Structure 1
């Protein structure tokens, strides 16, 4: 993907950041020449490079619900 293609695809995108973020990041990876993130699994030890990774808090008193 070239910068011109990236810009043409994303310039008209509106304010739907949550709906578009994963596609945007995949296109950005293609643009800068890095691998796309891996699919998330049920094993956090394998999820080193994913879009959404589970976060577990050890001290629940200080976590935000």
Structure 2
């Protein structure tokens, strides 16, 4: 998945969306980080795989 600058969410919308999320950091961190990746134009982390060699860019190892 590659990020296209023309289809990236607006940073203002991102901030407004997450400003009211409350103190649910553990519940929200993966979706927050995935959306942050979209906003800043980087690839989202990959799903974790059984083979550790395939887990270079995942949320948790």
Place the TM-score, normalised by the shorter chain, in its bin.
0.7 to 0.9
| CA radius of gyration, larger in | 1
TM-score normalised according to structure 1 size: 0.79
| TM-align CA RMSD | 0.5
For structure 2, the residue ranges without an aligned partner over 5 or more in a row are: 1-8
Structure 2 residue aligned with 1:38, among 41, 46, 52?
A: 46
Structure 2 residue aligned with 1:4, among 12, 20, 35?
A: 12
Aligned residues: 53
Partner of 1:52: 60
Which stretches of structure 1, 4 residues or longer, exceed 6 Å deviation after superposition? Answer: none
